[in-house]
């Protein structure tokens, strides 16, 4: 079986000096793994001529595919383009298609091309031009003696788009790769060890060519099934059959697969049930609304939000009773109940949800430590509230509370199906 | 001048496959940088004999110091120890001090030493034993021909403690090191090439021992100054003097240094000017409020937000005139002007800001393509509006528009200082 090897080469002093975190190479590893290309080495060198040329040569000796990120800006400290031209022995010239795309890119934003930016459309004549749909530095594809070098920008969203839309499909066409089939099952609302316990009979019965991994993150656990074999379609069918079996143990936790996001799953459920959503968020400060509105087409079910961060706005904007606030405080079951019900009515939605809590580091009291958060959902007939005791970290608390609300919406909609059937 | 070079070598399939994020190497880079040791390369290889031996040899040719993490567990797939013994040509034997420490470690936790764990106290006879205060895998220090190899566990807290308490002090004693001083200047509201053009005279006049790098990200450009020399305090003064000079060219773009975030900088300005902020966000859907509320203590100046995602809520919640919406549409200068002014009044704030646009992928019209966003700021005396033409990507547009609003607040507050002085 062919075993195609890749090396990831990152260019940039800022990574060597520890000034930025390299998140690109982990993402690239995962994506390559999915199509059966194995990363055998990762290398990072600085913006130094000799180091870069040496790294090109070494990588070519070890790997079939060399994916380079970084060092592509328009300024003089960016060396990747001239050095690749030198390495492959060809000159750099203006590339007409790249210039057209670049001019268009600037025109769409109402800018003229400056001479410095115009140089970004110059490319080594021995490479194929790779479009950058989200930025100004083009990608470059070099093929030589059965080896492929691809140079991409280091800006994560530009690189990811280029990899997904162009580089990976072309690598799949160019190289004969092993068959690996992955599927990730996304669960929410259960901890890793509890989930492991509930599904242990299923896990123990998995065939030896299908492997399971637990990948926990904030409030969620992803289960990754990896199947190895000769035929992708057969592997897919086997994995799908195993997932059907898994549902007998863990149906209520599963909200999606692979890159599905919880906000997308909840959005699809709201759409299906023809329900609209309104949000009142205090301690989550906009993050819950952001998760909901990141989903394209969310305007089909999302009405809007009120973020009454200050005490007085809970009264003036949401109609929470002053006496409720005075008696029980903003972080209480009584206040969160009014918030969820009132935002539902005020924004004219079917479902209202709310958050109120102590994100930290300030604001804690003796009986309400940092991480105390109340969440609620109201649908006009019934109100469900829940108290969360989260962590000591502000950002983590904001994110965990927002995800807990999305799961509360999911569970409420699941129950309404059960009741109606 | 001595220039001590280090290479970081990470061992582990789990990093190559993208299953875990390598946070160790960034931390190590920063710590080494502080004591003037320059990381010239980072390499990651899998748990494979040939790849590891090749990596040892290559690293020794390039660097003075080779810091290895990972591959030190008690199981058979952990190869670092036997391969280092092979590489340095010595045998592995039980190390009495390591065995004592290991026995103690287990005893303190109420466990007996198992035979598998006992093997962790065996060490190559040609290395110095490095204590692991937080785990069971010892570190190893090898010195040969003026080069140093250090092997450490990959578990972050074990490695960090070992580096801080033993490895870094010993490296400082062993090598005569350069002093490196970095400072990052954070700019906003100007593209990399425009900025390069505006500051080119300053850049060209930089002395040869101070290097400049441009690090662009969404709507922002970081400028990193790196100074090399004999005395840290002198370098700091020189860099600060260069920054003062830079301000003559780029004052209006600079909002902070090193790890400062734009929302923190804006928050500090609002606090200083004793101004409160209210937000009306449509296309940014909560992300702008999230950036503002991520800053601890933001309740000192942030009142709250309204997110009138649906057309009708712009009227009912924000008091935008129906005729304005009908005549000009939601994405227009007229609507954004009313949104900013009305949210300021309704939420009882000094400053109101607003966003309305087409984040995409849906909602575009012929004269309003995806990426068209209006932003505005109103302070009761004056309203400033701005039309942005952003990208084709929903998430990027949401983030870029939010950052543009933060910069608009910053610029408005800067101007108010100029007017008042």
pTM of the complete model beyond 0.90: no
Distance CA B306, CA A223 (A): 38
Contact between chains at A290 and B293 (C-beta distance less than 8 A): no
Do both A10 and A136 map to the same domain?
yes
Contact between chains at A298 and B285 (C-beta distance less than 8 A): yes
Pairing label, strands B38-45, B5-11 = parallel
Beta bridge partners of A220: A188, A217
Q: What are the φ/ψ torsions at residue A221 (nearest 5 degrees)?
A: -130, 125
Q: Which of A165, A285, A288 to mutate to test the interface with B (most CBs of B within 10 A)?
A: A285
What pLDDT sits at residue B88?
96
A104: containing domain = 5-174
B364 reaches A (C-beta below 8 A): no
What pLDDT sits at residue A1?
35
Contact between chains at B289 and A289 (C-beta distance less than 8 A): yes
Q: How far is CA A249 from the centre of its chain?
A: 27
Query: What does the block give as tokens for B125?
Result: 């006879």
Residues of chain A contacting residue B18, judged by C-beta atoms under 8 Å apart: 25-30, 33, 39
pLDDT at A74 > cutoff 80: no
| Cβ proximity of A12 and A153 under 8 Å | no
| Cβ proximity of A192 and A221 under 8 Å | yes
Tens digits of pLDDT across chain B (421 residues)? 357 899 999 998 888 888 788 889 999 998 898 788 989 999 999 988 999 999 999 999 999 999 999 988 766 667 999 999 999 999 999 999 999 999 998 888 777 788 878 889 999 999 999 999 888 899 999 999 899 999 999 988 899 999 988 999 899 889 877 677 889 999 999 999 999 999 999 999 999 999 898 988 888 999 999 898 878 889 999 999 999 999 999 999 999 999 899 999 999 999 999 999 999 999 999 999 999 999 999 999 999 999 999 999 999 999 999 999 999 999 999 999 999 999 999 999 999 999 999 999 998 998 999 999 999 999 999 999 999 999 888 999 999 999 999 999 999 999 887 666 5
Distance CA B276, CA A27 (A): 40
**Interface size between A and B, measured as CB pairs under 8 A:** 256
Do both B37 and B159 map to the same domain?
yes
Of B28, B216, B396, the CB nearest to A73: B216
Rounded to a whole number of angstroms, the distance from the CA of A63 to the nearest CA of chain B is 12
Last residue of a domain, one of A174, A198, A221: A174
Do both A251 and A329 map to the same domain?
no
Which residue in B56, B69, B51 sits closest to B11, CA to CA? B69
Banded model confidence at residue A392, pLDDT cuts 50, 70, 90 = confident
What 8-state DSSP symbol labels residue B331?
S
Pairing label, strands B147-152, B139-144 = antiparallel
B189-218 residues touching A, CB cutoff 8 A:
192-194, 196-197, 211-217
A303-324 pLDDT, tens digit per residue, is 999 999 999 999 999 999 999 9
- Domain CATH code at residue A188: 3.30.70.2860
Instruction: Report how many domains make up chain B.
Output: 3
Which residue in A122, A130, A128, A28 sits closest to A81, CA to CA? A122
Rounded to a whole number of angstroms, the distance from the CA of A304 to the nearest CA of chain B is 5
Last residue of a domain, one of A146, A174, A202: A174
* Long-range Cβ contacts of A109-116 (<8 Å, 24+ apart): A109/B389, A109/B390, A110/B389, A114/B193, A114/B194, A114/B197, A116/A74, A116/A75, A116/B193, A116/B196, A116/B197
Q: Which of B307, B345, B387, B389 to mutate to test the interface with A (most CBs of A within 10 A)?
A: B307
Last residue of a domain, one of B239, B257, B275: B257
pLDDT above 70 covers what percent of chain A? Answer: 98
Do both A135 and A233 map to the same domain?
no
Do both A297 and A409 map to the same domain?
yes
A351 reaches B (C-beta below 8 A): no
What pLDDT sits at residue B173?
85
B9-28 residues touching A, CB cutoff 8 A:
10, 15-23, 25-28
Instruction: Considering only CA atoms, give the Rg of chain B.
Output: 28
A324-376 pLDDT, tens digit per residue, is 999 999 999 999 999 999 999 999 999 999 999 999 998 899 899 999 999 99
Do both A123 and A142 map to the same domain?
yes
Do both B250 and B391 map to the same domain?
no
Rounded to a whole number of angstroms, the distance from the CA of A255 to the nearest CA of chain B is 22
Contact between chains at B306 and A304 (C-beta distance less than 8 A): yes
Distance CA A289, CA A271 (A): 17
Do both A166 and A202 map to the same domain?
no
Do both B16 and B120 map to the same domain?
yes
Do both A89 and A210 map to the same domain?
no
pLDDT at A208 > cutoff 80: yes
B230 reaches A (C-beta below 8 A): no
Q: Which residue of B has its CA nearest to A292?
A: B285
Contact between chains at B226 and A47 (C-beta distance less than 8 A): no
Q: How far is CA B209 from CA A14, A96, B204, B364, in A?
A: 17, 39, 13, 51
What 8-state DSSP symbol labels residue B417?
H
What pLDDT sits at residue B89?
96
Do both B294 and B361 map to the same domain?
yes
Rounded to a whole number of angstroms, the distance from the CA of B149 to the nearest CA of chain A is 18
Contact between chains at A304 and B290 (C-beta distance less than 8 A): no
Say if the ipTM goes beyond 0.85.
no
Q: Which residue of A has its CA nearest to B45?
A: A41
Of A17, A155, A346, the CB nearest to B33: A17
Residues of chain B contacting residue A305, judged by C-beta atoms under 8 Å apart: 286, 305-307, 309
Q: How far is CA A243 from CA A238, A239, A247, B8, B228, in A?
A: 9, 6, 6, 41, 58
What pLDDT sits at residue B230?
74
Do both B11 and B148 map to the same domain?
yes
- Domain CATH code at residue B150: 3.40.980.10
| Cβ proximity of A335 and A328 under 8 Å | yes
Contact between chains at A30 and B17 (C-beta distance less than 8 A): yes
What pLDDT sits at residue B115?
81
- Domain CATH code at residue B404: 3.90.950.20
Of A291, A309, A398, the CB nearest to B304: A309
Rounded to a whole number of angstroms, the distance from the CA of B336 to the nearest CA of chain A is 17
A25-84 residues touching B, CB cutoff 8 A:
25-30, 33, 38-48, 51, 55, 58, 73-75, 77
What pLDDT sits at residue B1?
35
Q: Which residue of B has its CA nearest to A38?
A: B17
Which residue in A161, A169, A103 sits closest to A136, CA to CA? A103
Contact between chains at A304 and B287 (C-beta distance less than 8 A): no
CA torsion angle A190 A343 B394 A163 (round to 10): 0
pLDDT: is A177 or A297 the higher one? Answer: A297
Produce one character per residue of B198-228: b if its CB has 16 or more CB atoms within 10 Å, e if not: ebeebbeeeeeebbbbbbbeebbbbbbbbbb
pLDDT mean across residues, chain A: 92
pLDDT (average), residues A68-93: 90
Rounded to a whole number of angstroms, the distance from the CA of A418 to the nearest CA of chain B is 31
Q: Which residue of A has its CA nearest to B398?
A: A294
Q: Which residue of A has its CA nearest to B33?
A: A17
């Amino acid at each position: 079986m062919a075993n195609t090897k890749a090396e990831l080469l990152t260019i940039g002093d800022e990574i060597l000096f520890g000034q930025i975190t390299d998140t690109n190479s982990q993402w690239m590893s995962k994506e390559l793994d999915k199509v059966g290309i194995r990363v055998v080495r990762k290398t990072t060198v600085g913006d130094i001529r000799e180091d870069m040329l040496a790294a090109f040569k070494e990588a070519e000796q070890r790997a079939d595919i060399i994916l380079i990120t970084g060092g592509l800006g328009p300024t003089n400290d960016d060396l990747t383009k001239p050095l690749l031209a030198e390495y492959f022995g060809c000159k750099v010239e203006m590339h007409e298609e790249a210039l057209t795309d670049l001019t268009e890119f600037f025109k769409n934003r109402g800018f003229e091309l400056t001479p410095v930016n115009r140089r970004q459309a110059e490319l080594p004549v021995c490479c194929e031009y790779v479009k950058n749909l989200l930025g100004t530095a083009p990608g470059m594809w070099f093929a030589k003696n059965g080896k492929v070098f691809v140079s991409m920008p280091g800006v994560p969203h530009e690189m990811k788009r280029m990899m997904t839309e162009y580089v990976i499909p072309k690598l799949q066409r160019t190289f004969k790769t092993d068959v690996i089939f992955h599927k990730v099952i996304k669960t929410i609302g259960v901890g890793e060890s509890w989930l492991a316990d509930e599904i242990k009979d299923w896990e123990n019965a998995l065939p030896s060519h299908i492997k399971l991994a637990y990948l926990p993150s904030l409030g969620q656990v992803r289960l990754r099934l990896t199947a190895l074999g000769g035929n992708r379609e057969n592997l897919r069918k086997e994995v799908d059959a195993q997932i059907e079996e898994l549902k007998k143990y863990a149906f209520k936790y599963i909200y999606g697969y692979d890159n599905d996001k919880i906000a997308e799953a909840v959005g699809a459920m709201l759409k299906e049930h023809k329900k609209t959503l309104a949000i009142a968020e205090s301690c989550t400060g906009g993050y819950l609304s952001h998760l909901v509105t990141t989903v394209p087409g969310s305007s089909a079910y999302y009405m809007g939000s009120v973020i009454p961060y200050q005490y007085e706005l809970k009264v003036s904007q949401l109609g929470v009773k002053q006496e409720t606030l005075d008696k029980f405080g903003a972080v209480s079951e009584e206040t969160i109940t009014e918030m969820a019900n009132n935002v539902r009515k005020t924004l004219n939605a079917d479902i209202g949800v709310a958050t109120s809590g102590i994100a930290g580091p300030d604001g804690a009291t003796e009986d309400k430590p940092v991480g105390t958060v109340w969440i609620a959902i109201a649908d006009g007939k019934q109100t469900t509230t829940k108290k969360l005791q989260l962590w000591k970290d502000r950002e983590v608390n904001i994110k965990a509370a927002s995800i807990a609300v999305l799961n509360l919406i999911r569970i409420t909609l699941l129950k309404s199906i059960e009741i109606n059937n």
